[in-house]
Structure 1
Amino acid sequence: MSELPKGGTFLFGQTDPQSVFTPEDFTEEHKMVYRTALGFVNDKILPVMDDLEAKKEGLNRELLLMAGELGLLGTDVPEEYGGFAMDKISTSIVAECMGRAGGFAMTHGGQTGIGQLPIVYFGTHEQKMKYLPGIVSGEKVTAYALTEPGAGSDALAGKTWAVLSPDGKYYILNGTKQFITNAGFADLYIVFAKIDRDKFTGFIVEADSEGLSTGPEEHKMGIKGSSTRTVILEDVKVPVENVLFEIGKGHVIAFNILNMGRYKLAGNAVGNCKFAIELSAQYANDRRQFNQPIAEFGLIKEKLAEMNTRTYIAESMVYRTGGLLDQMMHTLDLSGPDSGQVAAKGIEEYALECSMNKVFATEVQGYVMDEGVQIHGGYGFTSEYTIERLYRDCRVYRIFEGTNEINRTVITSTLVRRGLKGDIPLKEAIEGLRARLASGIGPRQNEGELVQAAKDMLLLSLGVGIDKYGQGLLKHQEIVGKIADMAMLTFGMESGWLRAQKALANTGEADARIKLNMARVFINSAIGTIFNLAREVLAGLASGEELAGLLADLQKLCQYTPSNTIAMRREIAAAVSAAARYVA
């Protein structure tokens, strides 16, 4: 097997399409997981969605038990603790299928992600034995209590504190946590508090502890089927054996858990997009105006094609990253008592990719839901049609697991810091680009070369920023955000193109045609966006003759003849309408 690429190194060279994992590589086991998870959502969740939205007492717990019986709560848990120790592709599949489950997707995510993984990765053997089997079966519901009224994105600024009892047997916790998913019916919480007001530490807190209470349910715009409450801690005694990991190392837990949380959220978003495409394509086929289905009108075709294309790119990114995470797991020694921490450290290598997935997929989701409502017209604005709920539900995805603004800073800061430390060959790539510019770069001949153009424009922008500010570039958030967008779009362009090229080599042009069209449509669209972003960044970093020279270089990097994306979109839309669902 070729050497495992480091996080962020997609920027520095060519990737072999055969080395990238795609949904076309699903094994029979993966397909079985997909059928099981999708069947559960379609058969058990969607028929009771109105009851979930009305917060019918006990329904979420009942559904979690059903999910536990099907093995949908333990994909990331070792078999020793009642789980199934599945690969990250299986985990991704479950997350994707849950994406159409409305508020229950949050209930499930709280149970299997941020509420479970702190124990999986950082718990002691005794803690895992005590809590994980019940979480995997659904008999115990868990929640993650990090956010506070005054500490959202700046989570480490939390005020909840803990002091050791005089007899040394307990920590006594006081504070308030806000916007806590599953809080209304959780049996245990992963709570973060500062010991002696400064040592940020994780605790496993049982819900029946004296002094622990919850506020009323939040009245939310969407995901109404999930429970979201304030958690109040008033002199809550937590046994010292329920300290999670090490005192003062709570930030290690929080940040590592967020990596997987962001990745799984991107999977949710992809599944949500596929559901909206299915609803919209069926509606467009059935709805007639001017004596023909609206699916036959050019502007509706364009919407369906673009919804499908952007979802294809997000899906390609998610499963490419899942493949990298799986490969990483195979390189690690997970046999020791600290195997969870080893796994979390391995996942951290792809923190940049996890953040790119989260931002891109959730923003595609917002676009797809908006266009879905538009295709439904006035009916899309009524609760009679499911697309109205999907539109409301999707908005929060850009806020939790780190806002998209925070994740944009993660993307750029990870690239810059790893590059300046020499962990990735950023400085060498920038120097190589400058040498190529000096010797001359001709017009780009195809979409594969446009992917390289995107990388080059990003490297040009990063090079100028680092030359001017060094690591201080990270203080200029407007520039940081634009560089993150360039990186994200470039990763999306390449992921979609590699998937299409792999399909072309493996199954031939006829079978790969829709994938090739979607990759080309996205690349031709995104390259212009990246060019404009780079122009803004350069204008923010330079002026006068220096800027004029940089803009001339930028123009050299982005010479190409655009493809006929209008014709390609028509072909994509025809396939979507014929199938009445997402196609790839």
Structure 2
Amino acid sequence: MELALKGGGFLLAEVTPDQVFVPEELNEDHLQLKTMAHNFVEKEIAPKIEKIEEQEDGLMKEFLHQAGELGLLGLEVPEEFGGSGMDKFSTVVVGEEVPRGASFAVSFAAHTGIGTLPIVYFGTPEQKAKYLPSLASGEKIAAYCLTEPGSGSDALGAKSTAVLNPEGTHYILNGTKQFITNAGFADIFLIYAKVDGKLTNFIVEREYPGVSFGPEEKKMGIKGSSTRQVILEDVKVPVENVVGEVGRGHVVAFNILNVGRFKLAAAAIGSAQLALEVSVKYAGERKQFGTPLSRFGAIQTKLAEVATQSYLAESVVYRTAGLMEEGFYGLDLTGDCRKEAGKALEEYAIECSLNKVLASEVLDLSVDEGVQIHGGYGFIQEYPIERMYRDSRINRLFEGTNEINRLLVPGTLLKRALTGELPLLAAAKAVSKDLLSGGLSSEGEGLAGLLQMTQKAKKVFLLAAGLATQNLGNELKDNQYVLLGLAEMVLQIYTMESGILRALKVQELNVSEEHKRFVEKAATLGAFEAMNVLEQQGKEVLCAVEKGDSLSTVLAGLRKLVRRPNVDMIELRQDIANAVIAKEKYPIR
């Protein structure tokens, strides 16, 4: 695979298939790890989901300990500290499988991701040696404590304080943390508090005097996971337990959330595929008017849409895994690597947010349509789709709401444009000039033609972003209506391009013809659906930032850019649905 583009760079470049990683390239080690994780969850955890949901005392912690014994908790922990130091693709294949254990997936992700990775990436060698071996083995469980009763999306608005004692040996922490996953049984807490008004991250052990907990929250879903307040009352924390630098906790917090969003997306695509599997099997068994539900066009449309969106989300997640793997290449996680790790994690903040938004919304689509396919039975607890529906909803809130993540995308792009990291504004001016001169090429046919259509989609975004920046100036940063429109355009571009590039690459790989046909059809349907959304969002943004004759001119340019051939989308849906029905699951899993 060629050298990856920098974060957000896909908007300005002609990306080729050899620049993306696709799941069809997973090696034998990845596939064996995936099978091992699948078997563990299916055999050990899935039969006890009801007991997990009832929070049977000690059960979740025992399952996490078993996962540690299998090496599943230490995939990203260096071998020197008891882990296996594996690549980002390994974390994705495991992340896809753990949702079969329902709420176990939440506790697993909180421990292995945002709970452990602050120490992996930002800890000192001494902190790593002290804490990582027990976290990798499952002997101790971690929790991440950022949110407070009065600050959620506004993480920097935290009120918890940390004051250095006169001796200079300990910080005294006071405050309350809200909605903390694993709080009921975690041993190690990564807690954020302010030192002289500046956010700082601390490692706090459960046994420290002054640490206490609120009662278990009564939640809509993910009932098997522990969610409590963590209360700090004059807790003495050794100065050597500061993670990163004093006053630089925001660097740890935001960058760990980046990787957390990426990992959440992996779990979400696994969950979406599982919900599709449950739904198509039910549709094949349930009859109405003497005919299985799966033979009705209205049901097939739902199956096709979920399968297509699952394909696109999967393509995005593996593409991003490839970017992050290259970004971390050569990084020595055994030493003090906080500056290098911070830079690597920040690089693909845009892509990580896109992953999180897309995958969580695809999951919501999958479970919502799953309930609809089940009809009244989808509302009954006896059927697993009912729990899946409730469990899904939290993912659009976890790791920053989807609204915050959407706003992060254009905000980061504009920041990088203004600092010269990304020549976005120059590219936008070039697009406007090309439109006025009438210089637009036509697309070819098939997947190659779709890839050329993606280049036009990028020009639509650049046209809208350039005019929004030019006409709104400093007001743009506060105009969330326009920013959300721009974010949606970026999301559609990254999504459709990922699906098309994967389909092109798969045509050259050693997979079945059936597999190749499915990815081509899913990429095609996904691309045309994305262009529909892109056209609408582009028109809305342009109408908001331009007026009069200028608006008429740019809308004419928009129409040129979004012009596309006709395609039988109904036939594509029929073919995709038939592939799902034949396999009784996501057809290329």
Q: In which range does the TM-score fall when normalised by the shorter chain?
A: over 0.9
Contact map agreement 2:275 2:388 (CA 8 A) in 1: yes
Residue aligning to 2:498: 495
Residue 443 (structure 1) shift: 5.2
- 1:377 is matched by which residue type in structure 2? G
Inter-partner Cα distance in structure 2 for 1:291 and 1:166? 80
The 5-angstrom pairing of residues 197-236 of structure 1 reads 198-236=197-235
Contact map agreement 2:120 2:333 (CA 8 A) in 1: no
C-alpha distance 335-573 of structure 1, shift in aligned 2 (>3 A)? closer
Which whole-Å deviations, capped at 9, do the CAs of 1:323-365 have from their partners, x for residues lacking one?
11111222x4427732354233212111100000000110111
- 1:494 is matched by which residue type in structure 2? E
Residue 162 (structure 1) shift: 1.2
Residue 509 (structure 1) shift: 5.7
Residue aligning to 1:316: 315
Number of aligned residues: 582
577, 580, 583: which one aligns with 1:576: 580
Inter-partner Cα distance in structure 2 for 1:501 and 1:173? 54
Residue aligning to 1:189: 189
Residue 19 (structure 1) shift: 2.3
- 2:368 is matched by which residue type in structure 1? D
User: Are residues 1:551 and 2:550 paired?
Assistant: no
C-alpha distance 94-336 of structure 1, shift in aligned 2 (>3 A)? closer
Inter-partner Cα distance in structure 2 for 1:95 and 1:581? 18
Residue aligning to 2:119: 119
- Higher deviation after alignment, 499-508 or 310-319: 499-508
Contact map agreement 2:192 2:199 (CA 8 A) in 1: yes
- 1:307 is matched by which residue type in structure 2? V
Residue aligning to 1:386: 384
Secondary structure at 1:462 match in 2: helix
Inter-partner Cα distance in structure 1 for 2:133 and 2:335? 18
Structure 1: 5+ residue stretches without partners: none
Residue aligning to 2:250: 251
- 2:540 is matched by which residue type in structure 1? E
Residue aligning to 1:411: 409
Inter-partner Cα distance in structure 2 for 1:500 and 1:414? 29
Residue 121 (structure 1) shift: 1.0
Which whole-Å deviations, capped at 9, do the CAs of 1:453-499 have from their partners, x for residues lacking one?
21111111101011113454221111111111110111000000000
Inter-partner Cα distance in structure 2 for 1:37 and 1:509? 28
The 5-angstrom pairing of residues 526-541 of structure 1 reads 526-541=530-545
User: Are residues 1:100 and 2:100 paired?
Assistant: yes
Inter-partner Cα distance in structure 2 for 1:510 and 1:439? 44
- 1:133 is matched by which residue type in structure 2? P
Secondary structure at 1:105 match in 2: helix
Residue 168 (structure 1) shift: 2.2
Residue 42 (structure 1) shift: 1.2
- Higher deviation after alignment, 530-539 or 160-169: 160-169
- 1:372 is matched by which residue type in structure 2? G
Contact map agreement 1:444 1:559 (CA 8 A) in 2: no
Q: TM-score, normalized by length of structure 1? A: 0.97
- 1:460 is matched by which residue type in structure 2? L
- 1:174 is matched by which residue type in structure 2? N
Which whole-Å deviations, capped at 9, do the CAs of 1:502-545 have from their partners, x for residues lacking one?
11233486541110000111111110111000111011111111
The 5-angstrom pairing of residues 101-500 of structure 1 reads 101-196=101-196, 198-330=197-329, 332-334=330-332, 337-440=335-438, 441=440, 444-445=443-444, 446-470=449-473, 472-500=475-503
Which whole-Å deviations, capped at 9, do the CAs of 1:272-312 have from their partners, x for residues lacking one?
00100110111111111111211011111111011000000
- 1:535 is matched by which residue type in structure 2? K
Secondary structure at 2:218 match in 1: coil
Inter-partner Cα distance in structure 1 for 2:421 and 2:189? 36
- 2:415 is matched by which residue type in structure 1? R
Contact map agreement 1:218 1:229 (CA 8 A) in 2: yes
Residue aligning to 2:5: 5
Inter-partner Cα distance in structure 2 for 1:76 and 1:478? 39
- Higher deviation after alignment, 338-347 or 503-512: 503-512
- 1:574 is matched by which residue type in structure 2? N
The 5-angstrom pairing of residues 72-91 of structure 1 reads 72-91=72-91
Residue 43 (structure 1) shift: 1.3
Inter-partner Cα distance in structure 2 for 1:190 and 1:282? 42
Inter-partner Cα distance in structure 1 for 2:526 and 2:265? 19
- 2:351 is matched by which residue type in structure 1? E
Contact map agreement 2:141 2:187 (CA 8 A) in 1: yes
- 2:416 is matched by which residue type in structure 1? R
Residue 195 (structure 1) shift: 1.6
- 2:244 is matched by which residue type in structure 1? F
Contact map agreement 1:284 1:294 (CA 8 A) in 2: yes
- 2:388 is matched by which residue type in structure 1? L
- 1:302 is matched by which residue type in structure 2? T
Contact map agreement 2:464 2:486 (CA 8 A) in 1: yes
The 5-angstrom pairing of residues 29-108 of structure 1 reads 29-108=29-108
- Higher deviation after alignment, 101-110 or 501-510: 501-510
Contact map agreement 1:17 1:499 (CA 8 A) in 2: yes
Inter-partner Cα distance in structure 2 for 1:155 and 1:247? 16
C-alpha distance 510-191 of structure 1, shift in aligned 2 (>3 A)? closer
Contact map agreement 1:334 1:343 (CA 8 A) in 2: no
Secondary structure at 2:114 match in 1: coil
Inter-partner Cα distance in structure 1 for 2:300 and 2:402? 30
Secondary structure at 1:494 match in 2: helix
Residue aligning to 2:570: 566
Secondary structure at 1:315 match in 2: helix
Contact map agreement 1:334 1:342 (CA 8 A) in 2: no
Inter-partner Cα distance in structure 2 for 1:504 and 1:425? 33
C-alpha distance 443-335 of structure 1, shift in aligned 2 (>3 A)? closer
Inter-partner Cα distance in structure 2 for 1:193 and 1:13? 41
CA RMSD of aligned residues (A): 1.4
Contact map agreement 1:443 1:559 (CA 8 A) in 2: no
- 2:533 is matched by which residue type in structure 1? T
Inter-partner Cα distance in structure 2 for 1:335 and 1:156? 27
Contact map agreement 2:353 2:406 (CA 8 A) in 1: yes
Inter-partner Cα distance in structure 2 for 1:510 and 1:109? 34
- Higher deviation after alignment, 15-24 or 259-268: 15-24
- 1:215 is matched by which residue type in structure 2? G
C-alpha distance 195-340 of structure 1, shift in aligned 2 (>3 A)? closer
Contact map agreement 1:321 1:353 (CA 8 A) in 2: yes
- 1:428 is matched by which residue type in structure 2? A
- 1:498 is matched by which residue type in structure 2? L
